[in-house]
Amino acid sequence: MTENITYLSPNGQNISYGTGTVTRIYAATIKGVVTLDRQLRGKPWVESARTLEDLHIGALLFDPGSRKLFAGCHHDGGLWVSDDGGKGDWRKLENGIKRSHIYSLASRIVNGRATIFAGTAPAALYRSDDLGESWVEVSALRDVPGSEEWTFIPPPHHPHVKSVVLHPTDPNTYFVLIEQGALLKTTDDGDSFREIDAYAAPEDRQWKEVHRLLIHPTDPDLMYLATGEGLYRTRNGGTTFDNVHHRGLRMGYPEFLFLDPSDHKTVLMAGSHLNPTEWFKDGIADSTILRSIDQGESWTEQNAGFPNPVIGAFEAMSMHLWYGGMTLVIGTATGELYATDDYCRSWVCLYDDAPAFSKEDHHLPFMSDEDREEAMARRGLI
Q: What is the pLDDT of residues 178-187, one digit of tens each?
A: 999 999 999 9
pLDDT interval class at 39 (50, 70, 90): confident
- pLDDT score recorded for residue 136: 98
C-alpha distances in angstroms, 185 versus 14, 28, 81, 191, 226?
Answer: 21, 28, 28, 11, 16
Task: Give the long-range contacts of residues 336-342, CB within 8 A, separation 24 or more.
Answer: 336/312, 337/8, 337/25, 337/27, 337/36, 337/45, 338/305, 338/306, 339/22, 340/305, 341/21, 341/41
Spatial distance between the Cα atoms of 129 and 115, rounded to a whole number of angstroms: 5
Spatial distance between the Cα atoms of 343 and 357, rounded to a whole number of angstroms: 23
Is pLDDT of 1 > 70? no
Looking at the chain, list the stretches that DSSP marks H as alpha helix, in order from N- to C-terminal side: 276-282, 369-379
> Of the candidates 310, 313, 291, which has an alpha carbon nearest to the alpha carbon of residue 301?
291
pLDDT interval class at 204 (50, 70, 90): low
For the chain, the maximum distance between any two Cα atoms, rounded to a whole number of angstroms, is: 55
- Angle (CA) 324 342 318, round 5°: 85
Q: Phi/psi of residue 370, each to 5°?
A: -65, -45
Q: Phi/psi of residue 179, each to 5°?
A: -110, 115
> Of the candidates 75, 226, 236, 245, which has an alpha carbon nearest to the alpha carbon of residue 163?
226
Distance from the first to the final alpha carbon of the chain? 50
Q: How many residues appear in the chain?
A: 382
Residue type, position 110, single letter = V
Residue 203: CB atoms within 10 A of its CB come to 6
Q: Which string of DSSP letters, residue by residue, matches 129-165?
A: SSTTSS-EE-GGGGGSTTGGG---SSTT---EEEEEE
Instruction: Record the pTM.
Output: 0.96
Spatial distance between the Cα atoms of 94 and 9, rounded to a whole number of angstroms: 21
Q: What is the pLDDT of residues 290-338, one digit of tens each?
A: 999 999 999 999 999 999 999 999 999 999 999 989 999 999 999 999 9
Q: What is the pLDDT of residues 250-282, one digit of tens each?
A: 999 999 999 999 888 999 999 999 999 999 999
Domain boundaries defined on the chain: 248-382
Distance of CA 5 to the CA centre of its chain: 17
C-alpha distances in angstroms, 368 versus 295, 373, 376?
Answer: 40, 8, 12
Q: Do residues 188 and 158 lie in contact, with contact meaning Cβ atoms separated by under 8 Å?
A: no
